[in-house]
Chain A
Amino acid sequence: MDLSINWSLILPILILQLVLAVIGLISLYKASEVRGPKWMWVLIIIFGNMLGSILYFVIGRKDA
């Protein structure tokens, strides 16, 4: 299998993951209060892939 085809297929996923992490970080930056320390969520969002961002949105965010 040609590697270039491979990338063009996977790229959208990477972009989506990136957008997810970026809006997670924006939301975190804007939030006045989150559960637990903010730096911890920064690490979780950046290194936790999709699951990290989901965890932040579901658990970290306080609905205010």
Chain B
Amino acid sequence: MRSTWIFYRKEMLDMSRSFKLIWIPIVFAILGITQPIISVFMPEILEMSGGVPPEMLSLYETPSSAMVMVQVLSQYSTMGVLILVLAGMNSVSGERHGGTAELIMVRPISSFSIMIAKWFAQCTQLLIAFGFGYIASFYYTYQMIGSLSWTSGLASFGLYGLWLILAMTITLLFSTILRGAGAAFVTLAILALLSLLNSLLPTWFTWSPARLSSLAAEVLIGNTLSVSSVIICCLITVGIIVVCLLSAARLLQKRVLPN
């Protein structure tokens, strides 16, 4: 327990010294704020770029605040996920291939403690970044476009946050097996496949973790969700996260040293 805490503090110190604790939240905030601004000023932007007939401009309607928040989430699904995966890809592989793991694993700390500490540290970073970005975006949208329901905002934050945590956990798992770039590639491929299956065959994959992002969007728009499907989806995602963490710990135990 104590060694997990010590390792967690080391991870957090690393993140702050490498500026990850600052730059990732800033990027999330920029992405989150840009979306409502673009939505409101779209006609002006188009006018400035020229070549758009005025009658087209007059047809433009500012999307509802809920729709803007959905667009923000879709920004996070691409840029946000990409950044989180790239920032986390070396978490374990860097220590294995760099050689720092060798000096850690000869001490009385279990590989499970290490993985848990790394996971919590990544969660902390993720929630700071996503939280900061989401609040900034929520505030802007609220001020510029119109009121939003706080409860649905919170529910959507929770559902989407779980999806991001899953993405981070998969990155952590593959980081114990592959080198950084390979881990990022495999993780992104898996996430893309999950999302693709979810959008192509939504009725087949009601339980899929990728449903979380669509559920987060629906909650914002104001659709009532079936509680059972939300619970199933969340439980399955949590289950996958736990399995990923346990396998990562097991794999790290077996292969501390790179071949």
A–B contact at 8 Å CB threshold (below): yes
Using CB atoms and an 8 Å cutoff, list the residues of chain A in contact with chain B: 1, 6, 9-10, 12-13, 16-17, 19-20, 23-24, 26-27, 50, 53-54, 57-58, 61, 63
For B94, list chain A residues within 8 Å (CB).
63
A54 to B58, CA, bound (A): 36
How long is the Cα–Cα vector from A26 to B30 in the complex, in angstroms?
20
Is B238 at the interface (CB under 8 A from chain A)?
no
Distance, CA A16 to CA B87, complexed state (A): 19
CB within 8 A of A23: which of B22, B29, B37, B90?
B22
**Do the beta carbons of A20 and B18 come within 8 Å of each other?**
no
Chain B residues positioned under 8 Å from A23 (CB to CB): 19, 22-23
Known contacts A12-B33, A50-B27, A54-B27; A63 and B18 CB within 8 A of each other: yes
Q: Does B86 contact A (CB under 8 A)?
A: yes
Contact A58 B86 (CB under 8 A): yes
In the A-B complex, the 9 residue pairs with the smallest Cβ-Cβ separation, listed nearest first, are: A58-B86, A20-B26, A63-B94, A63-B90, A16-B30, A23-B19, A27-B19, A16-B26, A57-B23
29 A–B contacts from the bound complex (CB under 8 Å): A6-B41, A9-B37, A9-B144, A10-B37, A13-B30, A13-B33, A13-B34, A13-B37, A16-B26, A16-B29, A16-B30, A16-B33, A19-B22, A20-B23, A20-B27, A23-B19, A23-B22, A27-B18, A50-B27, A50-B30, A57-B19, A57-B23, A58-B83, A58-B86, A58-B87, A61-B18, A63-B18, A63-B90, A63-B94
B102 at the interface (CB under 8 A from A): no
Best-surrounded residue of B23, B27, B144 (most CB of chain A within 10 A): B23
User: Least Cβ distance of A47 to chain B in Å?
Assistant: 17
Main secondary structure of the interface of B (DSSP, over half): helix
Question: Which residue, A13, A23, A57, has most C-beta atoms of chain B within 10 A?
Answer: A57
Q: Which residues of A contact B37 (CB under 8 A)?
A: 9-10, 13
Bound state CA distance, A4 and B16, in angstroms?
36
Contact of A24 with B23 in the complex, beta carbons under 8 Å: yes
Smallest distance from the beta carbon of B89 to chain A beta carbons, Å? Answer: 9
CA distance A24 to B23 in the complex (A): 8
Please report the C-alpha to C-alpha distance between residue A30 and residue B27 in the assembled complex, in whole angstroms: 21
Interface 1/0 per residue, B6-21 and A, CB below 8 Å = 0000000000001110
Distance between B99 CB and nearest chain A CB, rounded to angstroms = 12
Q: Which of chain A's residues have a CB closer than 8 A to the CB of B83?
A: 54, 58
Q: Is the CB of B34 within 8 A of A53?
A: no
Residues of A within 8 A of B87 (CB): 57-58
- Complexed CA–CA distance, A17 and B33 (Å): 12
B56-108 residues with Cβ-Cβ distance < 8 A to A are 83, 86-87, 90, 94, 98
What residues of A have a CB within 8 angstroms of the CB of B90 in the complex? 63
For B41, list chain A residues within 8 Å (CB). 1, 6
**Closest chain A CB from B30 CB (angstroms):** 5
Which partner residue on chain B sits nearest A57 by CB separation?
Answer: B23
